[in-house]
Amino acid sequence: MASTARRDAPEPPDFGILKRLARDQLIYLLEQLPGRKDLFIEPDLMSPLDRIANVSVLKQHEVDKLYRVENRPAPSSSDQLCFLVRPRVRTMRYIADVVNADKMSGRSRKYKIIFSPQKFYACEMVLEEEGVFGDVTCDEWSFYLLPLDEDIISMELPEFFRDYFLEGDHRWINSVARALQLLNSLYGPFSRAYGIGRCAKMSYELWRDLEEESESDGQGRKPEIGNIFLMDRDMDYVTALCSQVVYEGLVDDTFRIKCGSVDFGPEVTSSDKSIKVLLNAQDKIFSQIRNEHFSSVFGFLSQKSRNLQAQYDRRQGMDIKQMKNFVSQELKGLKQEHRLLSLHIGACESIMKKKTKQDFQEMIKVEHALLEGFDIRESASFIEEHIDRQVSPIESLRLMCLLSITENGLIPKDYRSLKTQYLQSYGPEHLLTFHNLKHIGLLTEQTAGETLTAVESRVSKLVTDRAAGKITDAFNSLAKKSNFRAISKKLSLIPRVDGEYNLKMPRDMAYVFSGAYTPLSCKIIEQVLERRGWQGLEEVVRLLNGSEFAMADGGLEEGAGGDAQRVVLAVFLGGCTFSEIAALRFLGKERGCRFIFLTTAITSSARMMEAMAEAKA
Amino acid sequence: MSRARADEEEYWHSSKFRAFTFDDEDDELSQLKESKRAVNSLRDIVDDDDDDLEKVSWSGEPVGSISWSIKETASSSSSSSLEGRDTSLQKGSSSYAALPKQVSSYSLSNLFKGRNRLPSLPSLSDAFSDTGAKNYAPELRRPKAEYKDYSNDWSPRDTVRRMQRGKVCSLERFRSLQDKLVLLDEAVAGHDGNVITAVLIFLKRTLRREVLFRELEVRQVALCHLIHFLKETGEQKLLLDLLRFLDRTEEVALSQYREHLNIQDVEKKREFLKGCIGLPFSAEDISHIQDHYTLLERQIIIEANDRHLEMAGQSEIFRKYPRKASILNMPLVTTLFYSCFYHYTEAEGTFSSPTNLKKTFKIPDKQYVLTALAARAKLRAWEDVDALLTTKNWLGYTKKKAPIGFHRVVEILQRNNAPVQVLQEYVRLVDDVETRLNLATKYKCHDVVIDTYRDLKDRIQLMAYKCKVERGSAEEEKINSLLSNMQIRWKN
C-alpha cells in the first residue's frame, strides 16, 4: 500500500451472487420434499432468510404455512413438515418431540430437517437417541455467507463468540473454512493471507486443507480480492467494549441493527407505528452519515434539510409545464429523501435524548480516562455508583470489563467490592456471569507479581500449534493477560493531542472514538498491510500472545494482481463492530484500498456482555 | 481382512440399526452438490429478481417478508375456521396471488429426476462446466467413486478428513485405546470441533468413564469439547463426575448452583439454595450464596405478609400504591427499595424493615442512602429525605451529609418532581460552584443562584440574571438590593 499517491479505492466485488446461490440451494432443498408442506423456521434464521428470499418464493415451492420453531407443540396439520434450523441439541429435542407425539397418536407424516449452515454429528446423535433417526431426513443448506451491504458479509453466527472463546469449542471453524473456500473460488484466488489469533490460524489451516484437495482450477482467473486478513476477537476486546460514537455504531448501540435493518419505534417515527428500515449503501442519506462522528451528523442533516426545502420551494415560481415536470421527475426522489431525512433526524433526537439521560458525556470521559490510564480511582468509583444506581446491568458490566482489561485485571479489593455490589444491584445469579467473564479473561482479578515473560509466552505458543493441545491450561490463563497498556504504547493508540481534534476532518482512525483512541484491531491490520508482514511487530505479537502468520501464495508479484491487490478481506472471528468497520473504511479511503468485511456476526459491547450472561434455560 | 472383521462390517452395512456410523446418505450428498452446480447455471432462467420490487405493508415490513408472514400465520392459526386461514394467506401474499401458477414448468427437481442416478457423471459435469467462468463447487468434479467408497481401512487421519467433509465413516474399528486416542488426536489436529465431538461421543460410549477422563485430562482441547457437549445435552451427572475427577471443585459448585435457574417454585428454590451453601465454592462466593439463600428466604416471608396486608385492604400505603409485581427473586437493592417504600418506619426487629436488611446484608452506607432516598422521594416524603441526610455530631450540632454527593441528591429529588423549596436546600449544598450554578439555573432555584453570584462577587452575572427572574418578584428585589449594596466589593 502506497500512502504517497492517493488513489481511488477499487469498487467492491458484486456479492449478489452469494444471495442467489443460497436461494437456489434452498429452493432445491425444498423441492426434495415434493408436495405441500409446512415450514418451521428457527427464529435466528428468519432475518437472514428474509434477506435472500421472501414468502412468495417459498410459496412457489409449495410451502403452505410458516411457523417459528419454539418451545410449543406444533399446530400444523400438514402431512409434510420441514424444519429449517441451526444445528442445536435443544432444537433436535423439539423436533423429536413433534415426531414422537405423532407416533403416539398414530399419525404418519414426512419430516425433513434442513440444517444451516451445516449438520453436526451431535445433532444426529440426539435424533438417534430420541428414536426418530430413520423417521426424519436431514439435509444441509450451506448458507454460510449473507452479504449485508456492498462491503459487509456476515455469517450470522453470533453464537460463534461464546462457543469458541468461552467454551473452547471448535465447531464453527469448519464453517469459516468453507466460507473462505467459497469466497476464494468466487473472488480469489487470494494471493496473500495474514492473520493473528489461534482461531485465525486454525481456520486458515483448515481452509488450505480444503483447497488442496479440491484441485481448484482458479489458475488464470482474474481475482477480485487479493489479500485476506484473519483476526480473532480476543486479540482486541478493548475496541469492542468502548461506547460507539460514529453514527452507524450509535444506531446499533441504541436500536440494535439486526441483519442490516433496524426497527425505528414510535419515538423516532413520531407516529404511532414502528418502521423497519434497511440500512445500507442504497440509503442515500444514511450512506453519507454512517461513518461520521455523531457530532458532525447534525450539521449534515440540517444542511440537507435546507437543501431539500429549497428544492421544494422552487415550485413557487413554476408555470404549469414546469410543475408537471417537477412532479413527474423530481417529486418522487424528493419525497423519498424527505422520508429518509426525517427518519434519521428522528433517530438522532432519540439517541440524544437517551444518551443525555444516561450521563453519556461523563461515561465517555471515564472511558477515555481508562484508555489513557489516568484517574483510575475516579473511574472505579464512577463504575461503583453506576452499579449502585442500577443504571443498566449490561453497561455496568461493560465498564467493569473495560477497567479490567485496560488495567490487566482489577485489584483484589476493587474486584470483591464491585462484584458484591453488582450482585446486590442486579441479582445474585450473576455470580455465574462473573465466572464466565473471568474464564474468558474479560473481567479478572490481579494476582501478585504477574507478568508474562518471554519464556512463558513461547511455551504458551506451543499450545496453539498443530497437534499439541496436550499442555495443561495453566498456560491458557497466561494467554488471557491483555497487556493493553504496553501494546497501546507500542502502537501509539492514544493520539497525541495538539489542540482540538477536528472530528469533521479526521486525520486518522482515532476519529471513531472522538480522537481519543485508535482501535487496536484496525491498527494491527494497518501496520501489517503496510509492512506486508509482521516484521518489526514482534514485540506487539508477543504482548498479544497470538499466533501470527503471513503467507504469500502463487507467484503473484507486485502489479500482477492489479486492483485486486488493493482489496482486502478483513475476517473477524467472533464479531466486529460498526466502529471498526468505519475506521477501516476511513483507512481504505486514505490509502486507496478497499476493505471487505467478513464477520461471524456484527457485534457490540452489549452483545458481547449478553453472550456472557447465564441464561435461564 | 479377518473373517470376524468382515462379518462385523457386513453387520454394520446391512443392519438397519447402524449403531454408530455418521451416515448422511452419501449418494444424496454428491447428488446435492452436483445439483447445486446445475442450479447455479440455471440462475439466469430462474432469477426473477423480485427483491427489487419489495412491497411494504402498513406495518413497515416488506409484504411477503418471512417475519411478516409468520406473524400473520400465527395470528390466523388461532382462528380455527378454514376460511379465516385462507383469507389471511391471500392477504399475506398479494404478490404471490398475482403470480402465474406455472411453477412446475421449471420445477428444479423435475430437471434432476432420474439424472442423478446416472453413472455417466463426467458427461453431465462437462455439460455444465462451460456455463460460467467461475467454478462454484470444485469438489463436484471428483470422480463419483470417491463418494461411494465405504472401505473401512481409512487411516485415523483420513477418517478425520472424511468426517470433516461430512462423509460416512464407521468408527467401530477403532477398538484399542491406542487407536482411539490416535483418532482423537487427529481430530483435534484437524481443527473441526464437530468431528472432535463426534469422536468423543464414540469414546464416551466405548470407554469406561475413568479411562476417558484420565486421557482427556492431558488433552485440553478435547476436554473442552466434552464439557461443552455435556452441558448442551444436559448430562449433568456425568459432567459433575468429570469436573470432580479433574479436581475443578469450584466449577462443580457453580455448575450445581446453576440449576436453580430452572426451578420455578420458590419454596423448592429456597430449599435448593440451602443445599448449595455446602458446595465447594471459593471463600468469597460462599458468602454470596449464603446471601442469595437468606434473601430469598426473606422475600418469601415479606411476600406472604404483604400479600395478606394488601388483600385485607387495611394498610393505607398498599391501598394508595398497589404493588406492581411480587418481590420474589428480585435483587437485593430492589428489595431494599421496596422495603423503604412500604416498610420504612418499621422497627429493626422485623424482617421487612430497611435497617434490618441493611444490617443483615452489610449494605454499604452509600448504597443505602441512595436507595432510601429514591424510595422516599418517590413518595414525596420530604421530611424523611431531610432526616436521611442529617447527621448529628457529638456536640449535638446537626449537619447535612450525603455520602453520594449532593448533586446526585438533587438529581433524584428533581426526577421525583420535588418542589423548589426542597430542591434549593440541597442545590445550595453542592460543593462545586460551577455544578451548583448549573443545577440552580436549570431548576430555577433563584435564591441559590443569586447567593452564589454574590459570594463570587460577580456583578455582571448577577445583573444578567435579573432578566431571568420574574418582574416584581422577591428575587428581583433581592438582586436590586444586592446591586445597590455599597458594602460588597464586586470583582467586576
In this prediction, residue A210 carries a pLDDT of: 87
Query: A12-21, A489-498, A538-547, B33-42 — which one is most confidently predicted on average?
Result: A12-21
In this prediction the pTM is 0.81
Mean pLDDT, chain B, rounded, equals 74
Q: How far apart are CA A594 and CA A589, in angstroms?
A: 7
Identify the bridge partners of residue A192 per DSSP, sorted by sequence position.
A227, A552
Core vs surface per residue B191-225: b (16+ CB within 10 A) or e = bbbbbbbbbbbbbbebbeeeebbebbeebbbbbbb
Q: What percent of chain B has pLDDT over 70?
A: 69
Cell representation of residue B336 = 431494599
Q: What is the pLDDT of residue B463?
A: 81
CA B110 to chain centre: 45
pLDDT digits (tens, 9 = 90+) for B259-313: 999 999 999 999 999 999 999 999 889 999 999 999 999 999 999 989 888 888 8
Q: Residue B107: name the closest of A480, A49, A464, A61 by CA.
A: A61
pLDDT at position A533 over 80: yes
pLDDT at B345 over 60: yes
* B367/A424 CB distance under 8 A: yes
The nearest alpha carbon in chain A to B371 belongs to A389
Residue B107: pLDDT over 50 = no
Give the number of other CB atoms < 10 A from CB of residue A284: 13
Residue A494 C-alpha, separation from nearest chain B C-alpha, in angstroms: 29
DSSP 3-state of A278: strand
* All three cell numbers of B239: 459432567
* A446-455, A499-508, A535-544, range with the lowest pLDDT: A446-455
B278, B289 Cβ separation under 8 angstroms? no
Helix then strand then coil, in percent of chain A rounded to 5, is 55, 10, 35
- Tell the residue number behind the cell numbers 413518595, with chain if given: B379
Determine what percent of chain A is predicted with pLDDT higher than 70.
90
What local confidence, expressed as pLDDT, does residue A509 receive? 93
How far is B342 from B4, CA to CA, in rounded Å?
A: 79
Residue B61 pLDDT greater than 70, yes or no: no
Task: List chain A residues with CB under 8 Å of B79.
Answer: none
Is the Cβ–Cβ distance between A481 and A545 less than 8 Å? yes
Q: Answer yes or no: do A221 and B134 touch at CB < 8 A.
A: yes
Higher-pLDDT residue of B94, B430: B430
DSSP for A308-342? HHHHHHGGGG--HHHHHHIIIIIHHHHHHHHHHHH
Which residues in chain A touch residue B292, judged by CB atoms under 8 angstroms apart? 428-429, 431
Cross-strand pairs, A115: A85, A140
- pLDDT at residue B126 in the model: 41
The verdict on A357 touching B (C-beta cutoff 8 Å) is no
Percent of chain A predicted with pLDDT > 90: 48
Q: Please judge whether B108 and A27 are an interchain contact, meaning their C-beta atoms are less than 8 angstroms apart.
A: yes
CB contact under 8 A, B99 and A614: no
Is the pLDDT score of B115 beyond 80? no
**Strand, helix or coil at A146?**
strand
What nine digits make up the cell of A485? Answer: 497498556
Q: Convert chain B into a string of H (helix), E (strand) and C (coil).
A: CCHHHHHHHHHHHHCCCCCCECCCCHHHHHHHHHHHHHHHHCHHHHCCCHHHHCEECCCCCEECCHHHHHHHHHHHHCCCCHHHHHHHHHHHCHHHHHCCCCHHHHCHHHHHCCHHHCCCHHHHHHHHHCCCCCCCCHHHHCCCHHHHCCCCCCCHHHHHHHHHCCCCCECCCCCCHHHHHHHHHHHHHCCCHHHHHHHHHHHHHHCCHHHHHHHHHCCHHHHHHHHHHHHHHCCHHHHHHHHHHCCCHHHHHHHHHHHHHHCCCHHHHHHHHHHHCCCCCCHHHHHHHHHHHHHHHHHHHHHHHHHHHHHHCCCHHHHHCCCCCCCCCCCHHHHHHHHHHHCCCCCCCCCCCHHHHHHHCCCCHHHHHHHHHHHHHHCCCHHHHHHHCEEECCCCCEEECCCCCHHHHHHHHHHCCCCHHHHHHHHCCCCCHHHHHHHHHHCCCHHHHHHHHHHHCCHHHHHHHHHHCCCCCHHHHHHHHHHCCCCCCCCC
Select the more confidently predicted residue: A552 or A582: A582
pLDDT at A368 over 60: yes
Instruction: Answer yes or no: is pLDDT of B18 > 60.
Output: no
Q: Tell me which residue in B138, B224, B370 faces A215 most closely, judged by beta carbons.
A: B138
What's the pLDDT score for residue B71?
A: 55
pLDDT tens-digit readout, A370-390: 999 988 999 999 999 999 989
Determine the pLDDT at residue A217: 59
pLDDT beyond 60 at B8: no
| A441-460 mean pLDDT | 64
Residue A397 confidence (pLDDT) above 90? yes
Chain A residues 214-253 within an 8 A CB cutoff of chain B: 214-218, 221
pLDDT-derived band at A563, boundaries 50, 70, 90 = confident
Q: How confident is the model at residue B62 (pLDDT cuts 50, 70, 90)?
A: low
Q: Do B77 and A209 touch (CB under 8 A)?
A: no
Q: Which residues of B touch A25 (CB under 8 A)?
A: 36, 39
Reported as a single tens digit per residue, the pLDDT across A103-154 is 899 888 899 999 999 999 999 999 999 999 989 999 999 999 999 999 999 9
Per-residue pLDDT tens over the stretch B211-259: 999 999 999 999 999 999 999 999 999 999 999 999 999 999 999 999 9
pLDDT band at residue A211 under the 50/70/90 scheme: confident
- Among residues A176, A178, A138, A146, which one has the least CA distance to residue A160? A176
CB contact under 8 A, A66 and B69: yes
Choose among A41, A205, A216: nearest Cβ to B138. Answer: A216
* Contact assignment for B77 to A75 by CB distance below 8 Å: yes
The closest CB to that of B39, out of A28, A60, A427, belongs to: A28
Is the distance from CB of A553 to CB of A190 less than 8 angstroms? yes
**Interface touch B370/A28, C-beta < 8 Å:** no
Q: Do B331 and A274 touch (CB under 8 A)?
A: no
pLDDT at A501: 80
Q: What residues form DSSP beta bridges with A595?
A: A568
Q: 51-90 in A: which are within 8 Å (CB) of B?
A: 53-62, 65-68, 75, 88-90
pLDDT level of residue B11 (50, 70, 90 thresholds)? very low
Q: What is the ipTM of this complex?
A: 0.89
3-state class (DSSP) for residue A182: helix
| CA proximity to B420, closest of B401, B443, B398, B448 | B443
* pLDDT in the model for residue B145: 42
Res B6: pLDDT: 52
| Residue B332: predicted pLDDT | 95
**Residue B141 with chain A: CB contacts under 8 Å:** 215
Of A174, A216, A416, the CB nearest to B164: A174
State the best of A20, A49, A54, A114 to mutate against chain B, taking most chain B CBs within 10 Å: A54
The kind and range of the H/E element at A400 are: helix A393-406
| pLDDT at residue B108, as a whole number | 38
Among A55, A59, A215, A438, which would you mutate to test the B interface (most chain B Cβ atoms within 10 Å of its Cβ)? A55
Query: Going by C-beta distance under 8 Å and a sequence separation of 6 or more, which residues neighbour residue A529?
Result: A1, A194, A227, A229, A568, A593
Side-chain-side CA neighbours of residue B65 (13 Å):
24
- Numbers of helices and strands, H then E, in chain A: 27, 14
Q: How confident is the model at residue A474 (pLDDT cuts 50, 70, 90)?
A: very low
Average confidence score pLDDT of chain A: 86
DSSP letters for A523-590: HHHHHHHHHTSSTT-HHHHHHHT---EEEE-TT--TTTTGGGGGEEEEEEET-B-HHHHHHHHHHHHH
Q: How confident is the model at residue B482 (pLDDT cuts 50, 70, 90)?
A: confident
Distances (CA, A) of B37 to A16, A26, B41, B141: 17, 13, 7, 10
User: Grid coordinates 431426513 are at which residue?
Assistant: A137
Q: Is any Cβ of chain B less than 8 angstroms from the Cβ of A486?
A: no
